Each structure stands twice: as C-alpha cells, then as structure tokens.
C-alpha cells in the first residue's frame, strides 16, 4: 500500500457509507469488511480489528440514530467513535520529576522535539537538564546546545566522546538536582544493530521513566516495523508524531501505537520549539478521515442550524440546476444562522475561499425586507423571477410598502446567488462536497460527536 494508505482507505469506507442509497445490514457488513482490511493492512492487531469491527456492526445495527438523524450519519459517527477509541491509549506525559529518553531513526525530529519538551516542562515550572547522547553526528551536540540556549536550560555533552552510555551516566550525575532530564540519542538511516545496541546500553544506564519514540508522520507504512524494533529494544512508552504540519495525516501512527501498545503523547506541528500540540484523539481521527476540523465546524453549527430539511431541499435543487427565490431565501437564512459562509467553507476540505463573506446582522436585516417583498409576489414569480419586469416591480413594491429600488436589490441578489450556485452545481467535485456538507450531514449528529467533550 502507498503512504497514508490507512487514512485513504478509511476515507473510502466513509465514502461508501455516504454514497450508499440505503444503509442496511448488508451494507454495514460490507463496510465492516472494508474496515477490517484497512486496519489489518495498517498492522493493527487482529484482535483489536475484530473488536472495532464487531463494535461497529453491533452498534450500527442495534443503536437507533438520534432523533431526526439519518442512518448514514449514524454509521459514520459510530465508525468515527470506534476509531477514536482505538488511538486513545492513555494520558500524555505526567507532570512529575522524571527521566525521558528520546529514540527514533535519522531526521525524525528527536533533537527538535527534545527542545520542545524542555520548553514544555520549563513552562510548567520544572527544572530541566538535557543530555546530548548523539555521538554519531558531529553537529548534534551544537544543535541541542542552541535549543537549550533558546529555552534557557542546561545541556550536558562531551564533544568527541564516543561512549554514549558513559555520557548519559555522567550527565545524570551532573543533573541529579534537575526535576526533568531529557536524553537526546542518535538516529540512523535504517534500523541497524549498532543503533539498537547503543540505545539499549543508554536505557540501562539512564533507567528512563519514559522511552519516547519520535516518528515523522510522513513515514506511513514503515511506522509499524520501526516502532516494533525500538519497542523490542527499550520498551517504548510513548510516541510523538512530528511534522503534522505537513500534508501527512498520520495514518502510520496507528500501526506504531499498536506495535508498542504505547500512547501518542504529543504532536509536532512545526520547526519552532513552540510547535508542540497535545494529542487529542478526536481531532486526530477527524483529520485522518478528512472530516476537516470537525470540532470547529460543530461549534459553528451549534450556534445554530436546525433547518436541515431546508438545506437538503436546497442541495437537491442545486443538483437539478433549479434555484428559486425561495431557495435563495432559505440559503440566506441558513447562512445567517451559521455566521459567515466563508468561515464554514474554510473548514471544509477543498472548499476554502469558495464563500462570499456574509455579515450576519446585515443579512438578517436584508432578509426581513426580502421576506416582505416576497410575500407580495405570486408563487409563479417566486419560482421564476425572470418574469418580474418593470410593471410587476411597481406592483410588488407598492404591495410590500418598499421602493422599487428594494425590489431590484432583491432581484440582483437573486441573480448573483444563482450564478454562484450554478457554478457550484456545475463542478462535480465541488457539488459533491457541498451536498455532503450542506445536505447530507446531520448537524445534530456532528454536535453529538463532540458532545462528550
């Protein structure tokens, strides 16, 4: 499988759910098979795979969707929740005096992350000492010293010394008054016996409370074997996934935590020492599944949209190329409720920048005027505003007690909206996204997803 295979195959499982015309037992079973395949290919332990898929099956068939929620959202939500459980392997690093040893292959981010952790613990009020035990790469100690300087913590190292375990022993002695000691070790391009021997020796001397595997999130399928090798050597207790600011969605991490039975403690999200993020299983899975920033979307939605039916109708009309004044009204009022369209669009993968900025208050005011004007129209006119010419404009304005200018404003707005909506409707990919987000997704179910937080 290609890199990021897991995220991709999981997204295709969800795609099958949302693309199905009907969710029945047959489909649930089929989807569970796909889910099984996806997880097994990611090296997830067979027992756990069965647990996940059995839970999904059992819950999908027996639990009732939330009131008003669709079966599709119900199943999507269950898959999401079971995956969250799968990566939720325990708490982050404890705030107590401890020795932490960093391990990982070349360039994964060990040294950078050592600096980030130093900053993290310093901020929490702990005294921190760093030990540079990378005797493999000549510049390694300087890199660590620079980081130590930035954070304002002491760094112990012995330039030219080749016995890493010896450095660690002396460093621990030197830092015996420090609450937190973090040991940076060397990496290799590939798993090699001398690296494994070295970190075993270091671990023996250091007796670290935490053995943290630093893993570049781009590693993908290689994550499993790497994690396993380090785990066999020193017993990995935690994983930090780095470079999550890149394009990778971190699918390989699931294999890594399965192989080590460890938990993910942090995510590295940039080159700067500040770029360390607490691991949040829900956010992580949302990202892996390509659901955009679900929690942000849900927050917006909870500010309220209840006219799901309206949106579904609108989305359907869009598909058929129809767009009436009533549609525009529904669309505007839904957007008014949700804040700015722009904000929403930016949360949907592939849709950022699609929306015009719509001011909530101004929208409400205009809507009130539009409502009055539309009440003076015949159903025929509302369905086909192109019928409305000069004479009708006069009549409608008089009936609504507004100026002809106001009526023209409404018609102009309609023409613009229609243009935008038909351009959305024409692009198949965009239309699918739009349908999914506006029509197919039950906002209540989304809210529910985050409800337990």
Ligand X SMILES: Nc1nc2c(ncn2[C@@H]2O[C@H](COP(=O)(O)OP(=O)(O)OP(=O)(O)O)[C@@H](O)[C@H]2O)c(=O)[nH]1
φ and ψ at 239, to 5 degrees? -125, 135
Which positions from 78 through 117 interact with Mg ion, judged by CB under 5 A? 110-111
Name the binder of 260 from Mg ion, ligand X, none, CB < 5-8 A by kind. none
Interaction between residue 238 and ligand X (CB under 6 A): no
Compute the least distance from the CB of residue 271 to ligand X, in Å: 4
Compute the least distance from the CB of residue 182 to ligand X, in Å: 12
Site string for ligand X, 330-369 (x = CB under 6 A): ----------------------------------------
Q: How far apart are CA 322 and CA 315, in angstroms?
A: 10
Interaction between residue 109 and ligand X (CB under 6 A): yes
**Nearest CB to ligand X, comparing residues 140 and 291:** 140
Which positions from 112 through 141 interact with ligand X, judged by CB under 6 A? 112, 134, 137, 140
Options 41, 61, 92, 106; binder of ligand X; rule CB under 6 A: 106
Question: What long-range pairs does 142-150 form, CB within 8 A, spacing at least 24?
Answer: 143/111, 144/111, 144/114, 144/115, 144/184, 147/111, 147/112, 147/114, 147/115, 147/118, 147/273, 148/115, 148/118, 150/115, 150/273
Comparing C-alpha atoms, which of 189, 181, 192, 204 is closest to residue 137? 189
Options 23, 60, 205, 269; binder of ligand X; rule CB under 6 A: 269
Written as one string, the DSSP assignment of 86-99 is: HH-------SSSEE
Which residues, other chains included, contact 195 with Cβ-Cβ below 8 Å and sequence gap of 6+? 186, 187, 188
In what side-by-side order are the strands of the sheet with 276-278?
Answer: 154-156, 128-133, 180-185, 98-103, 210-216, 238-242, 263-268, 276-278
Options 157, 187, 220, 251; binder of ligand X; rule CB under 6 A: 187
Which secondary structure element, helix H or strand E, spans residue 156, and what is its range? Answer: strand 154-156
Structure tokens at 15: 């795609």
Name the binder of 242 from ligand X, Mg ion, none, CB < 5-8 A by kind. ligand X
Site string for ligand X, 370-399 (x = CB under 6 A): ------------------------------
Interaction between residue 275 and ligand X (CB under 6 A): yes
Options 245, 277, 342, 448; binder of ligand X; rule CB under 6 A: 245
Which secondary structure element, helix H or strand E, spans residue 102, and what is its range? Answer: strand 98-103
Options 74, 77, 110, 231; binder of ligand X; rule CB under 6 A: 110
Q: How far apart are CA 220 and CA 65, in angstroms?
A: 34
Name the binder of 34 from ligand X, Mg ion, none, CB < 5-8 A by kind. none
Structure tokens at 381: 């006119």
Name the binder of 308 from Mg ion, ligand X, none, CB < 5-8 A by kind. none
Interaction between residue 209 and ligand X (CB under 6 A): no
Among left, alpha and beta (phi > 0; psi -120 to 50; other), residue 243 is: left
Interaction between residue 111 and ligand X (CB under 6 A): yes
How many other C-beta atoms are found inside a 10 Å radius of the C-beta of residue 328?
Answer: 23
Residues that bind ligand X (CB under 6 A): 104, 106-112, 134, 137, 140, 186-187, 214, 242-243, 245, 268-271, 275
Residues that bind Mg ion (CB under 5 A): 110-111
């Amino acid at each position: 499988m290609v890199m990021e295979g897991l995220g991709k195959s999981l997204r295709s499982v969800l795609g099958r759910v949302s693309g199905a015309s009907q969710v029945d037992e047959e489909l649930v079973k089929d989807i569970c098979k796909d889910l099984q395949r996806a997880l097994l290919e990611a090296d997830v332990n067979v027992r756990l795979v069965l647990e996940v898929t059995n839970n999904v099956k059992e819950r999908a068939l027996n639990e009732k969707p939330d009131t008003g929620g669709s079966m599709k959202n119900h199943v999507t939500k269950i898959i999401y929740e079971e995956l969250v459980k799968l990566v939720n392997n325990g708490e982050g690093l404890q705030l107590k005096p401890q020795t932490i040893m960093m391990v990982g292959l070349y360039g994964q981010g060990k040294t950078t992350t050592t600096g980030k952790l130093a900053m993290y613990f310093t901020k929490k009020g702990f005294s921190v000492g760093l030990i540079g035990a990378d005797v493999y790469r000549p510049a390694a100690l300087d890199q660590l010293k620079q980081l130590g300087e930035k954070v304002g913590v002491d760094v112990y190292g012995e330039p030219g010394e080749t016995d890493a375990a010896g450095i660690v022993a002396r460093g621990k002695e030197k830092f015996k008054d420090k609450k937190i000691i973090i040991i940076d070790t060397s990496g290799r391009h590939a798993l090699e016996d001398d690296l494994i021997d070295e970190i075993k020796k270091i671990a023996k001397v250091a007796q670290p409370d935490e053995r943290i595997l630093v893993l570049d999130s781009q590693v993908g399928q290689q994550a499993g074997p790497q994690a396993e090798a380090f785990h066999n050597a020193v017993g990995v207790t935690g994983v930090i996934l780095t470079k999550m600011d890149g394009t990778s969605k971190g699918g390989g991490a699931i294999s890594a935590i399965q192989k080590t039975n460890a938990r993910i403690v942090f995510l590295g999200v940039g080159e700067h020492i500040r770029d360390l993020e607490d691991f949040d299983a829900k956010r992580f899975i949302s990202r892996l599944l390509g659901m955009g920033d679900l929690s942000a979307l849900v927050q917006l939605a909870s500010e309220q949209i209840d006219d799901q039916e309206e949106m579904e109708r609108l989305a359907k009309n869009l598909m058929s190329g129809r767009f009436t004044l009533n549609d525009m009204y529904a669309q505007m009022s839904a957007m008014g409720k949700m804040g700015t369209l722009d904000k929403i669009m930016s949360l949907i993968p592939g849709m950022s920048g699609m929306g015009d900025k719509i001011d909530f208050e101004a929208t409400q005011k205009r809507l009130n005027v539009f409502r009055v004007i539309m009440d003076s129209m015949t159903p025929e006119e509302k369905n086909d505003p192109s019928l409305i010419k000069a004479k009708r404009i006069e009549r409608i304005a008089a009936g609504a007690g507004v100026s002809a200018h106001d009526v023209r404003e409404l018609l102009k707005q309609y023409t613009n909206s229609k243009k935008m909506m038909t351009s959305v409707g024409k692009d198949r990919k965009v239309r699918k996204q739009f349908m999914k987000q506006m029509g197919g997704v039950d906002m209540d179910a989304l809210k529910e997803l985050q409800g337990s937080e």
